[in-house]
Amino acid sequence: MNCRQIEKYLPLYAGHDLSGSREQLLAAHLQSCGACTEALADFQNARELMQTFSAPSFSDEVYAEIRKSVWRQIESESRPTLFAAVAAWFQPRLVWSAAAALVVTLSVVGVYVVAQKFTVRPKAIAGVPQIVLPPLNGAGENGGSNSAPPEPLRRPRQADVQKRQQRPVRTVAPDRSIAAGAYSPDGQVPKVESSSPVIGADDVDLGSGSLRMELQTRDPNIRIIWFTQGDSKPVAHSKGI
């Protein structure tokens, strides 16, 4: 080892802080090197000065004052202030509230995400025409209340209503499954076939002591009309084809 390398280890050598083998190496060098021995003496002097660096002796009053101050501070810290008490009362609740709100929010979001993921939506099948229904209550496609309903749909409905109002009241005729005969003044008595049963009466007229009844059979060409006057017998008319 040369002097430059030795100089690096001199501060530690002065305090016996080197390992055994390195200390022996330095000791061997120092025996033969005056400059390094002089440098070592400087470090040893400084270290001796360090060891004499004693703190001043403080009186017992100083120590007693320190202990008193410590106890005073411990006592003041152990006594909670009003603000600390209020903060301590609120703090755990706030934490729990925040935690509960977080859990609820996460749960709702989670359920929504899962529901969105597993919902099956109907898809339009190619080639099948879609049914377009007319809007209800005269509402247009846009759903606006001011839009006029389409005319072709409205007219037939009004016509149907008028027809229904003009049409006489129908009553159900009694069941006549058996072929009925009819009386005709001119002696022609047409026969009503059983294949054309009566399906309903067209008119019932209650005049002064007379009754007129029309019965429409299933065959549109045959209509049975009854006239009743006092003790008169029923008369059957048959419309010609």
Cβ partners under 8 Å of residue 225, min gap 6: 212, 213, 214, 215, 235, 236, 237
Query: Would you call 93 helix, strand, or coil by DSSP?
Result: helix
Which residues, numbered 51-80, are part of the site for other proteins (CB under 8 A)? 51-56, 58, 62-63, 65-67, 69-75
Cβ atoms of 205 and 226 within 8 Å: the answer is: no
Q: How far is the CB of 54 from other proteins (least distance, A)?
A: 8
Task: Measure the N-to-C terminal CA separation of the chain; round to a whole number of Å.
Answer: 147
224 part of the interface to other proteins, by CB under 8 A: no
Of 12, 33, 204, 211, the residue at the interface with other proteins (CB under 8 A) is: 12
Q: How far is the CB of 78 from other proteins (least distance, A)?
A: 10
Q: Which CB, 27 or 74, lies closer to other proteins?
A: 74
Cβ atoms of 198 and 217 within 8 Å: the answer is: yes
Of 6, 14, 222, 224, the residue at the interface with other proteins (CB under 8 A) is: 14
Which residues, numbered 17-56, are part of the site for other proteins (CB under 8 A)? 17, 42-43, 45-47, 49-56
Q: Which CB, 22 or 155, lies closer to other proteins?
A: 22
Q: Which CB, 43 or 227, lies closer to other proteins?
A: 43
Residue-by-residue DSSP string for 192-224? PPTTS-EEEEEEEEE-SSEEEEEEEESSTT-EE
Structure tokens at 109: 């979001």
Binding site for other proteins (CB under 8 A): 11-12, 14-15, 17, 42-43, 45-47, 49-56, 58, 62-63, 65-67, 69-75
